[in-house]
Amino acid sequence: MGKLSQAVLMICFFVWALPSAAQTPCVGLSVVTNTPEDQLMLAVNGADKPEEQIAALEKFTQEHADSKFMPCVYEYLTSTNVKLSNFDKAIEYGEKDLAANYLDLNLAITLLKAYIGAGKANDATFDLIAKGPDLIKKEMTPSKPANISDADWQKMQEEAATSAKDDRAFMEYAFFQLLPRVADASKRVQYLDGFVQAYPDTTNAGQVNFEYFIAYKMLGNTAKAEDYGEKSIAADPNNIRALNLVADEYASRQTNLDKAATYAKKALDLATGMKKPEGESDQQFKAEQNSLLGLAHLTLGYVAYQRAAKTKKFAPSIQEFNTAADLLAASPEYQGKALYFLGYAYEAEYPPNHRLAIDALTKASGLQSSFAAPSRDLLAKVKKAAG
């Protein structure tokens, strides 16, 4: 090892699979030459394959379980297993570090990658995200080295700032990736409150408010849901999903049909003009676009249906529901809703069109949606009326 053979080696050379070039695993931990820890790192860095690195690391855990270097070993095991997409194993080793009260920025980001890959979202997950800003500040705030030029010092600060920005962006990305996996709505609100406290200057205010809207909608708190829905749209007026879901909320609850129609029309215009993102297949893009267009047509159909109670003109709602049902083939819940109200609209017009109502309700009855049972009940009544 040349001149380094008599030195204490800081573990900062194990750089594969790290989230940022400026990050370092095992911050503050060191290894002395000619020790089991030194032999381990020689084996790890000399391995040709990640599997060989894991074998060396796991062997060390069995033979030197009482080593003070174990937190670093677990961190490397976490990173290596993430590289191999062994997300459950990565989580197992990463959480051993957390249980021992060991945490650095690299471990936090690597473990979050494992949580995203495994689809695991719990208190530990969101606690890591909440700790993100403090970890970034601690590890990405450089101290000025002695004998460094002003130009090099400025460059060092700029690189640290860039790394800190990237790391923070990943933390926020992880939050929005994992939050939808939380089934408990009250937990969602709790995690959102924690996120707002940890990231008060987030540039994703529109998304935060949208997630609050979803959470309070799940809780059945209509007032708060609509309040956050409006905040979400105010922060990001071109968020098609927010426009569509807030419009659907207003229409379904019949709380503001005018605003529902306005938002649905805007969502329709925006979805029609969507551009395919780079790297997305034509099939994926078309499915996403159809879903957005279909929900907008569904809302417009429901608004037209409600207004037809006075005008008795059901043709506009029938047209919208038919269009929505065709576009929402990939969403049984919304397609079932469109077909259910389509059947109602056919029956409500004068004279009622029993045959087309039966066709729509028969389709709705066979879908896996909350409208299947109501569709079967209405279908029985229509068949009886049709004779």
Q: Write down the pLDDT at residue 181.
A: 96
217 and 249 Cβ atoms separated by less than 8 Å:
yes
**pLDDT reading at 13 higher than 60:** no
**pLDDT reading at 273 higher than 50:** yes
In this prediction the pTM is 0.83
Rounded CA gap, 176 and 197, in Å? 15
Q: Which residues pair with 8 in a beta bridge?
A: 32
Which of 6-10, 26-30, 197-201, 303-307 is predicted with the least confidence, judged by mean pLDDT? 6-10
| pLDDT band, residue 227 (cuts 50/70/90) | very high
Q: Write down the pLDDT at residue 121.
A: 94
The DSSP call for residue 131 is H
Tell me the mean pLDDT in the region 350-361.
Answer: 95
**pLDDT reading at 105 higher than 80:** yes
Q: What backbone phi and psi angles, to 5 degrees, belong to 30?
A: -135, 165
202 and 133 Cβ atoms separated by less than 8 Å:
no
Rounded CA gap, 364 and 358, in Å? 10
Q: Give the distance, in angstroms, between the CA of residue 192 and the centroid of all CA atoms in the same chain.
A: 13
Q: How confident is the model over 159-191, as pLDDT tens digits? A: 888 989 999 999 999 999 999 999 999 999 999
Q: Write down the pLDDT at residue 16.
A: 30
Q: Write down the pLDDT at residue 18.
A: 35
Q: What is the largest CA-CA distance in the chain?
A: 97
**pLDDT reading at 46 higher than 80:** no
Tell me the mean pLDDT in the region 111-124.
Answer: 95
Which of 209-218, 228-237, 266-275, 306-315 is predicted with the least confidence, judged by mean pLDDT? 306-315
Q: How confident is the model over 230-265, as pLDDT tens digits? A: 999 999 999 999 999 999 999 998 989 999 999 999
| pLDDT band, residue 47 (cuts 50/70/90) | confident
| pLDDT band, residue 17 (cuts 50/70/90) | very low
Q: Which of 1.25.40, 3.40.50, 1.10.3210, 2.60.40 is the CATH number of 2-199?
A: 1.25.40
Which of 131-145, 298-312, 351-365 is predicted with the least confidence, judged by mean pLDDT? 131-145
**pLDDT reading at 305 higher than 50:** yes
Whole-number mean pLDDT of the chain?
A: 88
* Structural element, H or E, at residue 340: helix 332-348
In 3D space, the residue among 99, 97, 94, 69 whose CA is nearest the CA of residue 79 turns out to be 94
- Residue 113 contacts by C-beta under 8 Å, 6 or more apart in sequence? 19, 82, 90, 174
328 and 335 Cβ atoms separated by less than 8 Å:
yes
Delimit the CATH 1.25.40 region(s) of the chain.
2-199
